[in-house]
Amino acid sequence: MDLVAQSKELLDPAAWSSLAFSSVRVVIIALLAWLVYFIGSRLIRRFRMRLASRMTDPEQQRRAETLGRVIRYVLSVVVTLVAGMLMLAEFGVSVAPILGAAGVVGLAVGFGAQTLVKDYFTGFFLLLENQIATGDVVEIAGKSGLVEDVTLRFVQLRDYGGDVHFVPNNLINTVTNKSRGYSYALMEVGVAYRENLDEVFEVMRRTADHLREDSDFKQRILEPLDLAGVENWAGSAVNIKCRLKVRPLDQWAVRREFLRRLKRTSMPPVSKSPTRT
């Protein structure tokens, strides 16, 4: 009898009609979800581009781009959850017990996935406080490089050797950003004890002035050479420390060019030991 009843239910036109209507509604929900995400993404992108067009600071433009990408990610998560619950409801699945169970499971998982929760909270405040943006050069969690991507979960870095590092946000305690506002090209030059330091200082200033007049570097260097003076006495040389204020990310190119030109001057033979920045 059970088989007969089940056969009648399978052959019941009303049941198939209800299933067909539910399937159509599910397809409509999926299309509407895609449409909402598409329109929302376009609006976010248009707003970001309009906001970036009014910004002259490249740092603010990079921040706007990063925030736009995160907002699109949040939008996709919200749309997917809402669409999923509506689809389940169409097939007669009660959403309330699922939400209650999800709350209990979420509480249990929360204790076991504290690092994951910390990732998202840390990532949110990193973006909110504008500590890191795409295109910055930073040092975090013992890794340094160019920021290629910032998400609520991790920061993607590419170092000078081309290696890509994915740093979870929960490991980020201190952020050293090398590309905000301005930077300093730091140099430490060692000269022999017998040399006249006043003459050495003059040669270094003249080299820096010539570098600032160069068409390739005059826009990069913001101020004249800041000559700190004698840093220390080494075993065979007197170490002189100086620096040039430059645009962000130009400190390495300016330092190398300064030291190269200093080598070509009439300055007495020196040994150069640039300080790493």
Element housing 148 (H / E): strand 143-150
Please report, in tens digits, the pLDDT of each residue of the chain (277 residues total).
454 454 555 555 665 566 677 777 888 888 988 998 888 888 888 887 777 777 666 666 666 776 777 788 778 888 888 888 888 777 776 666 666 666 655 655 555 567 777 887 888 888 777 788 888 899 999 999 999 988 888 999 999 899 999 999 989 989 999 888 899 999 999 898 888 999 999 999 999 999 999 999 989 999 999 999 999 998 889 999 999 999 988 999 999 999 999 988 755 544 444 444 4
Domain ranges of the chain: 2-112, 125-177, 183-272
Closest alpha carbon to 154 in 166, 144, 172, 139: 166
The pLDDT assigned to 153 comes to 85
- Pick one of 3.30.830.10, 2.60.40.1180, 2.30.30.60, 3.20.20.70 as the CATH number of 125-177: 2.30.30.60
- Pick one of 3.30.70.100, 3.40.50.300, 3.40.50.10140, 3.40.50.450 as the CATH number of 183-272: 3.30.70.100
Task: Give the whole-angstrom CA distance, residue 189 versus residue 212.
Answer: 19
The pLDDT assigned to 1 comes to 46
Cα–Cα distances (Å) from 126 to 122, 132, 135, 155, 166, in that order, read 6, 6, 15, 10, 15
Domain 2-112 fold: Helix Hairpins (1.10.287)
The pLDDT assigned to 98 comes to 62
Residue type, 25: R
pTM equals 0.59
The pLDDT assigned to 21 comes to 74
Tracing tokens 């000559």 back to the chain, one arrives at 227
